Amino acid sequence: MLRKVLPVAGAVATALLALAQGLTPLAVAGLALGAWVLLLAVTLIRYPPGGAARQEQEGEVTKASERLPPSDHVGIDALPDPALVVLGSWRAVAANPQARQLFGPRVGSADVRQSVRHPAVLDAIRSAMAGDSPAIREVGALGHADGAFRVRAVALGDGRHLVTFTDITQARVAERMRADFVANASHELRTPLANISGFIETLLGPAAEDEPARRRFLEIMARESGRMSRLIDDLLSLSRIELDKYVRPQAPLDLPPLLADVGKTLAMRLEADGRRLLIEVADGLPQVIGDRDQILQVLHNLVSNSLKYGHSGTPIRLSAALVAGSARMDEMVRVSVEDAGDGIAPEHLPRLTERFYRVDTGRSRSMGGTGLGLAIVKHIVERHRGRLEITSRQGEGTTVSFTLPVVPKRIEPAEPEAAASPSAVAPAQPARLELRREP
């Protein structure tokens, strides 16, 4: 303001001096002083001190930030989180769009004690005003949001305070999930451990001389320790998969031999339950991009589930077919595992891939389940940028399918013979393969 006034006042004073040539020095000085006082009065009427705040109070929110020096304006608007600039009088003089969204359009010019109101936020600002800066508080529901926020108030050193609000809801959810996971994992391990130590005590005491009881107890102990080691294997698998979840697999993979391998590894269990594994591979199935061991683990978990939760004597269908690509999506191969079992009620479907979620915990445990199989499947499929889908009809059965990206043409080997290899064109296997027949 003064910058505008000074040159004008100077010019007027000089003009007066010119006019007053011939007057006494004292009269000249008096005239010049009079001009200065007059100009100052006029200026004060046009730009009263605190007039900006008064105008902001009248409603024009954007004007508050317009009146800030240009550098401050850009600074607060460029912040990703809601931010306010607050004076020592509690009045805000600027708010970025995120803050206006959170607290309403007038927050940039209102008294924060009325517009923000939250006691913890006001406490943080009060601390910053008292020189305890930065002041940090964590608060729940704020303005129009239900989540959790970290509020940070810092004195800018010129009577203004910058208050920022960082949404930490996601971090809180993740923390909660970690805590739940540790609690669940400990519980899952503690149960078999408690059983084992209980039987050890019985064997050392009352059943010491009871030969048939000893055999029975040792069998249970072997089963329980098997459960513990399966659980630890699954937990380690999960953490390994999580570690490289952002590292996309690179290697091309032939699915048909892999599907056949699953049949071979599970052959004994299939036979014991009078099951057949029907493997169906579409003609000309292209190679996919995949980590062989991880895809094998996915297939193993899915076929194991069909074995555990399907009906004895019914077949399990394992199939792979090409899904046509679109403008937005590359070509994918869909692999499906289908069983005829009890099926899963719709309300459970969305939660099946959560760690330790089971429809029937007792049944899962008695079948040797850890509750982590589908969580592992989901993580592996996500790492491959595929999609997992579970469909089920109660009383009819369940189909779990996932997609895998097809090897893009450009990274296929350059030699013509390699491009025409059986794996890249048609699989050597017949389109429908039966690995096991009912005895």
Ligand X SMILES: Nc1ncnc2c1ncn2[C@@H]1O[C@H](COP(=O)(O)OP(=O)(O)O)[C@@H](O)[C@H]1O
C-beta neighbour count of 272 within 10 angstroms: 10
Residue 86's binding partner out of ligand X, Mg ion, none, with CB under 5 to 8 Å set by partner kind: none
Size of the site for Mg ion (CB under 5 A): 3
Least gap, CB of 310 to ligand X (angstroms): 6
Say whether residue 398 binds ligand X (CB under 6 A): yes
Stretch that binds ligand X, among 97-105, 201-209, 220-228, 302-310 (CB under 6 A): 302-310
Q: Cα dihedral sign for 255, 356, 174, 186?
A: negative
Alpha helices in 150-254 (DSSP H): 169-204, 211-243
Least gap, CB of 324 to ligand X (angstroms): 27
Residue 306's binding partner out of Mg ion, ligand X, none, with CB under 5 to 8 Å set by partner kind: ligand X
- Per 3-state DSSP, the chain is made up of helix, strand and coil in percentages (nearest 5) of 50, 20, 30
Closest CA to 199 of 215, 186, 183, 188: 215
Say whether residue 352 binds ligand X (CB under 6 A): yes
Say whether residue 297 binds ligand X (CB under 6 A): no
Least gap, CB of 259 to ligand X (angstroms): 17
Say whether residue 294 binds Mg ion (CB under 5 A): no
Please give the backbone phi and psi of residue 145, each rounded to the nearest 5 degrees, phi first. -110, 145
Stretch that binds ligand X, among 1-9, 160-168, 190-198, 339-347 (CB under 6 A): 339-347
Which token pair is 237? 């698998």
Least gap, CB of 306 to ligand X (angstroms): 5
Least gap, CB of 290 to ligand X (angstroms): 20
Least gap, CB of 218 to ligand X (angstroms): 25
In the complex with Mg ion, the residue whose CB is nearer, 24 or 239, is: 239
Say whether residue 396 binds ligand X (CB under 6 A): no
Distance (Å, whole) CA 392 – CA 52: 66
The residue from 369, 386, 405, 427 that contacts ligand X (CB under 6 A) is: 369
Write the DSSP string, 335-352: EEEEE-BS---GGGGGGT
Residues contacting residue 372 through CB under 8 Å, at least 6 positions apart: 231, 234, 235, 237, 238, 355, 356
Which token pair is 313? 């004597």
Say whether residue 188 binds ligand X (CB under 6 A): no
Closest CA to 309 of 438, 437, 397: 397
Distance (Å, whole) CA 324 – CA 333: 9
In the complex with ligand X, the residue whose CB is nearer, 374 or 388, is: 374
Residue 358's binding partner out of Mg ion, ligand X, none, with CB under 5 to 8 Å set by partner kind: ligand X
Say whether residue 152 binds ligand X (CB under 6 A): no
Amino acid identity of residue 30, one-letter, is G
Least gap, CB of 402 to ligand X (angstroms): 13
In the complex with Mg ion, the residue whose CB is nearer, 96 or 392, is: 392
Distance (Å, whole) CA 320 – CA 283: 10
Rounded to an integer, what is the distance from CA 216 to the centroid of its chain?
Answer: 47
In the complex with Mg ion, the residue whose CB is nearer, 96 or 305, is: 305
How is the beta sheet containing 332-339 ordered, strand by strand? Answer: 388-393, 397-405, 332-339, 316-323, 277-281, 432-434
Say whether residue 192 binds ligand X (CB under 6 A): no
Q: Three-state DSSP class for 120? A: helix
Say whether residue 344 binds ligand X (CB under 6 A): yes
Q: What is the DSSP letter of 413?
A: -
C-beta neighbour count of 297 within 10 angstroms: 18
Say whether residue 305 binds Mg ion (CB under 5 A): yes
Say whether residue 305 binds ligand X (CB under 6 A): yes
The residue from 53, 136, 154, 359 that contacts ligand X (CB under 6 A) is: 359
Say whether residue 258 binds ligand X (CB under 6 A): no
In the complex with ligand X, the residue whose CB is nearer, 170 or 366, is: 366
> Which of the residues 356 through 385 are near Mg ion (CB under 5 A)?
369, 373
Residues that bind Mg ion (CB under 5 A): 305, 369, 373
Residues that bind ligand X (CB under 6 A): 301, 305-306, 308-309, 339, 341, 344, 352, 358-360, 364, 369-375, 398
